[in-house]
Amino acid sequence: MSKLDLREWHIYTMLVVVSVGISLWSVYQDNVINDDGVWYLEAASLFTAGEWRSAYSHYPWPFYPLLISLVSQATGLGLEYAAHLLNALLYPLVVIFFVRLVQELGADRQVTIAAAIIILIYPGLNDYRSMIIRDAGYWAFFLLSSLLFMRYFVTPQWRYALGWALSMLLATLFRVEGFIFFLFLPLVTLVRRDLTWARRWVLLAKASSLLGVVALVNLIATSIVPQWSLRRVGRLVEVIDWLANASSITLQSWSEKADLLERTLLGTGSMKYAVAVVVGGLLVFLVLKFIEVLTLVYAVLAAYALKKKTRFRLPHAHLVLVWLVILNVLILIGFVSRFYLLQGRYLVALCLLVMLPIPFVIVSICREWSTAREGRLRKNWLFPVVCVFLLIVAVDGLVSFGPDKRYMKQAGTWVKNERGGTDTVFANEVVLLYYAGEQGITTKAGDYSWDHAIAVIKDGDEVDYYVIRVKRKHPEREQEVEKILGEPVKQFVNNRGDKALIFVGKHAVGS
């Protein structure tokens, strides 16, 4: 092993250790399961029980729950702990592949260290470390695929052509939108102006070779089993349908929202601008959400990098990065246009791409500051200011300032310990049902609205325990429930005044 290899090995070992440490710290701060985590664990329990068909029906993109089940069986850990262990192993891959991608773009040792720091303290990543979600696997293999495709773009060898595609397929197994990159990322080879068109088409064909294999296998499978189709492969049908009807679905969605806007808000003279208002509003929402997830500090540094026209040593890297960003933005626009909601983690892949120039900018600012001969703080204030704001980002990324959710875990656990084997439980939150020991939570009717909760409470002759979460901003709801059920037998409160109220139902009292 060369001296350089040994240094890199030390850096990557440090990244793994620190990343695992941050994951453990995050889970320690917030050890309450998230709603999506309940879905994954219930599917994983079906895999563990050998009920593969039921697991697939329960969650039709089951790779992540299957991994949780395998980790649980291999380690003997419970499913929840196995899921946290799996994620604790996936997040270091995100960190390593990000740093490796920065190195591929031409980073020296100082830039590499800066890259390690900004990814390890990044709140957009650390905020999700305590959650049981599949996104960490997607982010890791998305970055690896991007790294290998950049290598292929410069050195079109078969190992890179197959490597990027296999990595993106792995990313797709975690999140289905990876399939869009699998289909369309190779098209960027057609913009290589330094190559003849014939050579560009060869690069495109080579980069798409694995896609051709998938298409051939699908064709053979269809000829042997007429009922077979890629549309039957879990949630892949959603991507295929969206790609086939992307423009019509998007335009129809915009039109529906514009009609609603015309009826409820816009005056007669403004109705012709309804679609423009809808589209403009969506774009503003997307930009603001992007800045929120990226953080304002990183957004300013990325904009500064764009202004300074940061150049990478890797030839043509900017072409691949721009195309990756465009594809991410198109996916986000399509998603927002269809569902009119956007969770922060959906933007993390885009943010990771935008963060790539930031280490170069930070080191450049540092070097300018260190070479100033006099009056560093008076004449060259930028680097100290950047350091202060990075410290703020680090605190935000490593310390949880959100509401304490342990009260829900405590309430559910209390009911689990008190209830009998046949006692029924109703709760207005998935998490409460999970900790109360309910089985098959996500296969039951999932209406957790307040109106539904009140309807069940009023007609709850067969319910033994009610566990009702009431947020601080809705004190009237607590009064509404107590008017029907009386005083709670137990209540748990967090530091912000949110409550989990436990009531004994008529059925339990009667028995």
Q: Say whether both 302 and 413 belong to one domain.
A: no
pLDDT reported for residue 161: 96
| Entry pTM | 0.89
Integer Cα distance of 74 and 90 in angstroms = 17
Q: Say whether both 346 and 422 belong to one domain.
A: no
Q: Say whether both 418 and 372 belong to one domain.
A: no
In whole numbers, what is the pLDDT of the chain averaged over residues? 87
Q: Say whether both 369 and 412 belong to one domain.
A: no
Domain boundary among 337, 368, 398: 398
- Residue 463 above 90 pLDDT? no
- Residue 16 above 90 pLDDT? yes
Q: pLDDT tens, 375-425?
A: 555 557 888 899 999 999 999 888 877 788 999 999 999 999 988 777 889
Q: Say whether both 309 and 443 belong to one domain.
A: no
The structure tokens listed for 205 are 């064909």
Q: Say whether both 301 and 416 belong to one domain.
A: no
Q: How do the residues of the chain divide into helix, strand and coil, expressed in percent and rounded to 5? A: 70, 5, 25
- Residue 366 above 50 pLDDT? yes
Residue 215: DSSP 8-state: H
- Residue 446 above 80 pLDDT? no
Residue 474 lies in a domain: yes
pLDDT exceeding 90 applies to what percent of the chain? Answer: 58
User: Residue type for 336, please?
Assistant: V
Residue 259 lies in a domain: no
pLDDT reported for residue 102: 96
Other residues' Cβ atoms within 10 Å of the Cβ of residue 473: 10
Could you tell me which residues are beta bridge partners of residue 500? 469, 492
Residue 109 lies in a domain: yes
Q: Say whether both 363 and 457 belong to one domain.
A: no
Q: Say whether both 478 and 329 belong to one domain.
A: no
| C-alpha pair distances (Å), 352 with each of 50, 112, 347 | 38, 15, 9
Residue 444, domain extent:
406-510
* Residues 459-483, mean pLDDT to the nearest whole number: 89
Residue 125 lies in a domain: yes
| Whether 111 contacts 312, CB under 8 Å | no
Q: Say whether both 454 and 391 belong to one domain.
A: no
Q: Say whether both 214 and 355 belong to one domain.
A: yes
Residue 238 lies in a domain: no
391 or 276: which carries more pLDDT confidence?
Answer: 391
Indicate the number of domains in the chain.
2
The structure tokens listed for 206 are 């080579």
Q: pLDDT tens, 168-226?
A: 999 999 999 999 999 999 999 999 988 999 999 999 999 999 888 877 776 676 667 66
Domain boundary among 377, 398, 419: 398
Q: 255 in helix, strand or coil?
A: helix
Per-residue pLDDT band for 372 (boundaries 50, 70, 90) equals: low
Residue 466: DSSP 8-state: E
Domain boundary among 398, 432, 450: 398
Q: 373 in helix, strand or coil?
A: coil
Closest Cα partner for 45 from 446, 443, 448, 465?
A: 443
Q: Say whether both 297 and 410 belong to one domain.
A: no
Residue 243 CB burial class (10 angstroms; 0-12, 13-18, ≥19) = middle
Judged by average pLDDT, the poorest of 242-246, 352-356, 417-421 is 242-246
- Residue 42 above 60 pLDDT? yes
